[in-house]
Every structure is written in structure tokens, then in C-alpha cells.
Chains A and B, each alone.
Chain A
């Protein structure tokens, strides 16, 4: 999407044009959802947060001073909301003493998913975020580097490291069972 088109859509959205904002949602949903997923490591939670973020974006779009900055602005809201959610969930988990590793069993896809989710959650944030975004952006390192404002070399190094650690975590977990 070119800048002038985006500017038009942001201005129209600020005037209450929902069709214009729907187009912005189509354009930025991936970035918002990816950002949330990278932080909360849970697809369903990420989906809920992304939805809240985009609806909140419509309510607050009038406060955006520069229409060209819609992308970074909405991603920042996503980041803040996901972090707030994560903080709340951690407290809840600590309260309920449910930080145990998942019980794993072979063959069940739901268990595989939980297993992977647990392993991704174990990765440090600086590795988890680029890794999740890498798969989310159709395995394009350049898109991740642009979204995170980092160099391609740095992102390449982080994603490689994250993948190696993820493999190791999953292998170790598999060996235990």
C-alpha cells in the first residue's frame, strides 16, 4: 500500500469510515497478530488481543498525529496490550501454581501443540519474537528485520539461534517421555 493511499484511509477512518478502517485491518492484521503471538506465545490469546487492539485502534485513530505512522502506532499498541496481558496471565499462573511443564504423550496433535507452545514460551523474548515473526511472515527474514527495525544479519543470527534452541527443547522433552 502506498503512503498516500494509507494516509487517505487513516483520515477517512478518523472521520468514522468503517470501510476504510477495514482495509487498514486487512493490511495490518498480520503485523499486529504476529507481534501479539511473539509476546504471549498462545495463538488464541494472540487472536483475542489482536482483535481488541484493532478495535481500540479504530476508537483512538483520531489521536494519531501523523497518518503515515499508523503501522508503528498500531504495532506499539499491540505490544503494550500483549505485555499487559502476559503480566496478568503470569500473575494468575503464579497464583494457581500452574507453571508445571505439560504432560506429553505421543501421537496426539493437541499435545504436540501444547508441547510446542511450551517450548516457544521457554525461549527468551529476544529470540522468540523474531522466530515467530519469521514463520508468520512466510519465512522472510527481511520483513522481520523491517518490522523490528533491526539489521538483516542480526535477525538471521537470532532466528537461527532460536530454531536451534527450540529443536533442542523439543527433543529433550521428547526424550523424557
Chain B
């Protein structure tokens, strides 16, 4: 097997690829005329190129294209939905922006509610409850003067409650008042005889020291129950015409 001249091999290749200057082409062709190996190389390359050109089928491309288009039209192809279809309608963009805006406004309003309004509400409600708690859990004054002052005030409240028949206020004083007030309230509740306060009285009665001293709460309970029994007996008796 003969090889082309080393100096001319690349030039012959370039000439085959139509990448050689005309002046150089002339000198290469002159060499090919005189050199059998280079001539064989050049002719061999030409043959290969012709075959490759045919093989690629570039010349009958129109037929191939028509075949694809024919298939495209003949087949019922369903397009997959994609971004393109969404981009076409500008209204879709505005709708999306409007939706995002509304969501943002909603989030902001919620933030304002939770950060500013709700804590304020909680504070207001909380302060009321706290006030009640303070009332109910007011410490017993250690100062005698203060103690007497508060006792006087509570006694007045008891009296007012008795006059007005306010059982709820008496029950409250029973829970929150000074020990003397509690006893006074229990006595008045016994006088009134409302069975609805029995639970409260029992609670306080249970707390009373078991040292033999008279339990005013128990006494009040018994008085209420006695009165209840009396009224039941009266109701059960036959009425004389």
C-alpha cells in the first residue's frame, strides 16, 4: 500500500474539503500529476466523498420532509399542555397577579390583626378578669385599722345584700370576705333559706376547724334544710275548703 507524500497529505485533504486557496490548489494539482501515490490518494478521497454524499441522502431530503408532514396531518396528535399555551393569553398573567395581590393583602390583614388588634383585645379582657381575681383574692389586711375599715365596709355590703335580697352578692362575700363577714353572710343566707347556696356553705363548712366550736356554716345549712322540710310538709297537707 502506497502512502501520499507527507507534505501533501493535509493539502490534498483540504483541497477535498474545498478549504484550500486557489494558488495552493494549482501547486497541489501539479504535484498530483507527477506523483502516483498522491494521485491515488486524491482519487480515493473523491470516491469516498461521493459515497458519503450519497449515503447521507441530503439530495432526496424533500421526499423525507413530505413524508413527515403527511404523517403529521394524517395522525390525530394531542398536544400536551405546557407553558407556551399559558403565555399566549395575557389575561392569564393579570389574573395571576390579581390573585397574588389578594393573597398578599389577606396575609397583611391577618398580620395586623394578630400583631396589633388581638393583643389589645386580650389585654382588655384579661384586665377585667384580673380585676375580679384581685377582688376575690384580696389579701387580709395586717393593720388593725385597715382590717376594721374593711370589715365595716363588708358588713355594710352584707346589709345591703340582705335588704336587696341579693343572694349572689352574699355568696360572693361568703367566698371573698373576711372570716367575720363570711359568718355574717352565712347567718343571713340561713335566714333567707335559699337551697341554691347549700353547696357553697358546705364547702366552707368543711373548712371549719374541728375543735368543737360552733360551725356557723353547718348551722346555716341545717336551718335551710329545716325550712325546706317545713315547706315540703306544708305543701303535702290537704287544704281545707
**Nearest A residue to B69 by beta-carbon distance?**
A22
* Shortest beta-carbon distance from B55 to chain A in Å: 5
Selected contact of A61 from candidates B17, B75, B84, CB within 8 Å:
B84
Classify the secondary structure of B's interface with A: helix
Assess A139 versus B71: contact at CB under 8 Å? Given A67-B84, A116-B55, A167-B44.
Answer: no
Selected contact of A25 from candidates B10, B65, B78, CB within 8 Å:
B65
The distance in angstroms between the C-alpha atoms of A158 and B224, with both chains bound, is: 116
Selected contact of A135 from candidates B53, B73, B84, CB within 8 Å:
B53
Inter-chain contact B84/A14, CB cutoff 8 Å: yes
A residues less than 8 Å from B84 (CB atoms): 10-11, 14, 61-65, 67
A residues less than 8 Å from B81 (CB atoms): 62
Among the 9-residue stretches B56-64, B178-186, B231-239, the one with 4 or more Cβ atoms under 8 Å from chain A is B56-64
A residues less than 8 Å from B14 (CB atoms): 160
* Shortest beta-carbon distance from A163 to chain B in Å: 6
The distance in angstroms between the C-alpha atoms of A171 and B10, with both chains bound, is: 18
Selected contact of B52 from candidates A16, A26, A135, A160, CB within 8 Å:
A135
Let me know if A112 is at the binding interface, CB within 8 A. yes
Assess A160 versus B80: contact at CB under 8 Å? Given A25-B65, A50-B68.
Answer: no
Q: What would 19 more interface pairs be, CB under 8 Å, given A65-B83, A117-B55, A160-B17?
A: A10-B84, A14-B85, A18-B73, A30-B58, A43-B55, A47-B64, A51-B67, A55-B68, A55-B72, A58-B72, A60-B79, A61-B79, A61-B82, A62-B79, A116-B52, A135-B58, A160-B10, A164-B13, A166-B52
Assess A135 versus B65: contact at CB under 8 Å? Given A11-B84, A55-B75, A167-B44.
Answer: no
B residues less than 8 Å from A65 (CB atoms): 83-84
Let me know if B45 is at the binding interface, CB within 8 A. yes
How many Cβ-Cβ contacts under 8 Å join chain A to chain B?
Answer: 134
A residues less than 8 Å from B75 (CB atoms): 55
Classify the secondary structure of A's interface with B: helix
The distance in angstroms between the C-alpha atoms of A63 and B58, with both chains bound, is: 30
* Shortest beta-carbon distance from B50 to chain A in Å: 10
* Shortest beta-carbon distance from A60 to chain B in Å: 6
A residues less than 8 Å from B56 (CB atoms): 34, 37, 43, 132, 135-136
**Nearest B residue to A54 by beta-carbon distance?**
B68
A129-142 vs B, CB cutoff 8 Å, 1 = contact: the mask equals: 00110111011010
Bin the interface of chain B by size.
35 or more
Inter-chain contact A141/B19, CB cutoff 8 Å: yes
The distance in angstroms between the C-alpha atoms of A132 and B67, with both chains bound, is: 22
* Shortest beta-carbon distance from A173 to chain B in Å: 12
The distance in angstroms between the C-alpha atoms of A175 and B2, with both chains bound, is: 12
B residues less than 8 Å from A159 (CB atoms): 17
Inter-chain contact A156/B19, CB cutoff 8 Å: yes
**Nearest B residue to A23 by beta-carbon distance?**
B69
Let me know if B205 is at the binding interface, CB within 8 A. no
Let me know if A170 is at the binding interface, CB within 8 A. yes
Q: Which residues of A are in contact with B by a Cβ distance under 8 Å?
A: 10-11, 14-16, 18, 21-22, 25-26, 29-30, 33-34, 37, 43, 47, 50-51, 54-55, 58-65, 67, 112-113, 116-117, 120, 131-132, 134-136, 138-139, 141, 156, 159-160, 163-164, 166-167, 170-171, 175
Inter-chain contact B72/A18, CB cutoff 8 Å: yes
Inter-chain contact A62/B83, CB cutoff 8 Å: yes
Assess A29 versus B68: contact at CB under 8 Å? Given A58-B77, A163-B16, A164-B13.
Answer: yes
Selected contact of B13 from candidates A55, A134, A160, A175, CB within 8 Å:
A160
**Nearest A residue to B73 by beta-carbon distance?**
A18
B residues less than 8 Å from A134 (CB atoms): 17
Assess A63 versus B82: contact at CB under 8 Å? Given A117-B55, A163-B45, A167-B45.
Answer: yes
Selected contact of B82 from candidates A30, A47, A60, A141, CB within 8 Å:
A60
